[in-house]
């Protein structure tokens, strides 16, 4: 048997499990605690049929990583002498069929409506759990999508120079920079402390009032200090998701030119009413439905998720006002956020309506009026000139908010067959609870989920993301058969 490292470990650390309980306690060990040795031997070609439910940040990230990392890895972990031996069987590339189900299409839900502000920090500029890895992998997928967009435009005859300018300035609205401003002394103190530990790849600079007003003329700077993230991004989420889907299609096309298994990818614009309709047709079903997952009858509100509807107001500068927001000016984070879409178009968000079940992106006149009444006073404290802008409409999304843990609010991942009633003929996986941080989390967690599905091994997902199942009531069937 020949030793070969087939595939980089998708986890940023090695998680050691105890066998004392079903979901196991975990002792987090700094990397690397001991060598990880991998072995492989050849197997015959395999096929995998996957259904991905949802075409937002989570769903499309999983699809891209499934297509990119499509060598089936059969993994067995054995603990010997305080180290893991990972025994892997790697056959030829598999036949892979992926069907995406989303009744509103690519980015038609909360992901496509989101403000598009990307950075790895909490509101107090504290680095989020695994924030460095999440930031790195999100930037990777953004570049992948941009390349797909440029490639697609080149095929329709635009010059390379024009295409790159269009992709940067119009396609995704990659506007660099976010300003964070504190409106009270308590937050100001915490921001000052946390800024010292910012990432080199997404640094946080402390600016004087004068420096901040050079970036955004007319801005108010409480306490004469602002915090600037020059590498943070503001993207057009809907366009980004469409380009990421094009990249997935490109991977399918490219696979036909190599000696590999057959790849199929299809988008189905139809609702998902229950999970049982997929049983028997697929080997794996990956649920990336956001807040709609709680509406599936198989769960009936059993998941530890809270729903929250958020309204985003769209504003434009009137034609009779010539001086718009500064070209390439940074977006703003404060009690309300301002996402810059162009010098004459701003999005302001977001409201928080807890326990809502309304997933419609449409906003009624009354709901829009209420949102403006809440958001504009908060935004005008920092950017008073926004009161001169005209309201042109609003969109809303329903978020799935995960429970708060000692590490923050972490998404929910894992195989969920053991919390579903009855017998299933395929594996069901959950990728949910991204809350308001789907754009940050989707790259890294999509990679983890794809590896787990391809390996049929939940153990590749950090226990911090699967321990939520401790709170779920197991079915009577599973209680009776679990230890038999």
The predicted pLDDT at position 481 comes to 33
Structure tokens at 20: 């004392």
The predicted pLDDT at position 174 comes to 59
Cβ contact 138:231 at 8 Å = no
Query: What residues does each domain of the chain span?
Result: 2-110+239-305+405-481
Task: Look up the pTM and report it.
Answer: 0.82
Q: State how far the Cα of 193 lies from the Cα of 206, in Å rounded to an integer.
A: 11
Q: Look at the domain 2-110+239-305+405-481 and name its fold.
A: FAD/NAD(P)-binding domain (3.50.50)
The predicted pLDDT at position 302 comes to 86
Q: State how far the Cα of 250 lies from the Cα of 256, in Å rounded to an integer.
A: 10
- Cα 434-285-422 angle, rounded to 5 deg: 110
The predicted pLDDT at position 36 comes to 36
Structure tokens at 464: 């911090």
How many other CB atoms are found less than 10 A from the CB of residue 27?
A: 10
The predicted pLDDT at position 154 comes to 62
Q: Is 351 left (phi over 0), alpha (psi -120 to 50) or beta?
A: beta
Q: State how far the Cα of 469 lies from the Cα of 419, in Å rounded to an integer.
A: 8
Residue-wise pLDDT tens digits, 154-192: 654 444 443 333 233 444 445 789 999 998 999 899 999
Instruction: Give the HSE-up count for residue 326: Cα atoms under 13 Å, Cβ half-sphere.
Output: 16
Helix, strand, or coil (residue 23): coil
User: For the chain, which ranges sit under pLDDT 50?
Assistant: 1-45, 71-72, 74-81, 83-92, 156-173, 474-484
* Angle between helical axes of 131-155 and 438-455 (0-180°, round to 10): 90
Q: State how far the Cα of 51 lies from the Cα of 19, in Å rounded to an integer.
A: 32
| Spatial CA neighbour of 41 closest among 76, 14, 9 | 76
How many other CB atoms are found less than 10 A from the CB of residue 14?
A: 17
| Spatial CA neighbour of 399 closest among 364, 366, 438, 428 | 438
Cβ contact 326:343 at 8 Å = yes
Structure tokens at 2: 């020949």
Residues 6+ away with beta carbon under 8 Å from 434: 57, 58, 290, 400, 402, 411, 441, 442, 445
Q: State how far the Cα of 191 lies from the Cα of 204, in Å rounded to an integer.
A: 10
Cβ contact 248:55 at 8 Å = no
Residues 6+ away with beta carbon under 8 Å from 359: 109, 110, 291, 292, 309, 397, 398
């Amino acid at each position: 048997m020949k030793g070969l490292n087939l595939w980089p470990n998708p986890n940023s650390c090695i998680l050691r499990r105890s066998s004392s309980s079903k979901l196991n306690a975990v002792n987090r060990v700094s990397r690397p605690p001991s060598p990880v040795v991998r072995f492989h031997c050849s197997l015959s070609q395999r096929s995998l049929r996957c259904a991905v439910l949802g075409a937002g940040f989570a769903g499309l990230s999983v699809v891209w990583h499934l297509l990119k990392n499509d060598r089936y890895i059969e993994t067995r972990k054995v603990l010997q002498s305080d180290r893991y031996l990972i025994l892997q069987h790697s056959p030829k590339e598999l036949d892979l069929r992926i069907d995406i189900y989303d009744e509103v299409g690519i980015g038609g839900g909360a992901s496509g409506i989101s403000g598009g502000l990307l950075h790895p920090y909490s509101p107090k500029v504290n680095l989020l759990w695994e924030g460095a890895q999440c930031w790195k992998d999100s930037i990777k997928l953004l570049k992948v999508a941009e390349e797909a967009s440029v490639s697609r435009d080149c095929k329709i005859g635009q010059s390379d120079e024009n295409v790159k300018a269009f992709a940067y300035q119009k396609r995704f609205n990659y506007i660099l920079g976010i300003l964070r401003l504190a409106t009270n002394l308590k937050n100001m103190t915490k921001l000052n402390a946390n800024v010292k530990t910012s990432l080199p790849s997404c640094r946080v600079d402390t600016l004087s009032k004068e420096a901040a007003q050079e970036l955004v003329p007319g801005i108010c700077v409480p306490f004469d200090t602002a915090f600037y993230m020059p590498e943070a991004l503001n993207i057009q989420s809907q366009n980004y998701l469409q380009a990421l889907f094009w990249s997935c299609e490109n991977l399918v096309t490219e696979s036909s030119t190599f000696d590999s298994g057959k790849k199929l990818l299809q988008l189905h614009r139809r609702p998902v009413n229950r999970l049982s309709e997929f049983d028997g047709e697929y080997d794996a079903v990956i649920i990336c439905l956001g807040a709609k997952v709680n509406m599936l009858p198989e769960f009936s509100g059993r998941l530890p998720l809270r729903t929250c509807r958020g309204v985003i107001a769209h504003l434009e500068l009137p034609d009779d006002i010539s001086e718009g927001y500064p070209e390439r000016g940074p977006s703003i984070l404060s009690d309300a956020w301002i996402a810059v879409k162009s010098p004459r178009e701003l999005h302001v968000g977001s409201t928080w309506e807890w326990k809502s079940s309304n997933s419609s992106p449409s906003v009624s006149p009354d709901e829009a009026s209420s949102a403006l009444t809440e958001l504009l006073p908060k935004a005008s404290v920092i950017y008073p000139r926004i009161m001169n802008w005209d309201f042109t409409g609003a969109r809303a999304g329903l978020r799935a908010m995960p429970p708060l843990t000692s590490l923050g609010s972490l998404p929910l991942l894992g195989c969920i067959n053991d919390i579903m009633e009855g017998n299933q003929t395929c594996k069901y996986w959950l990728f949910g609870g991204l809350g308001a941080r789907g754009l940050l989390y989707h790259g890294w967690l999509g990679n983890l989920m794809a590896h787990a599905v391809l390996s049929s091994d939940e153990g590749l997902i950090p226990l911090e993301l699967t321990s939520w199942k401790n709170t779920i009531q197991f079915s009577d069937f599973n209680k009776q058969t679990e230890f038999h």
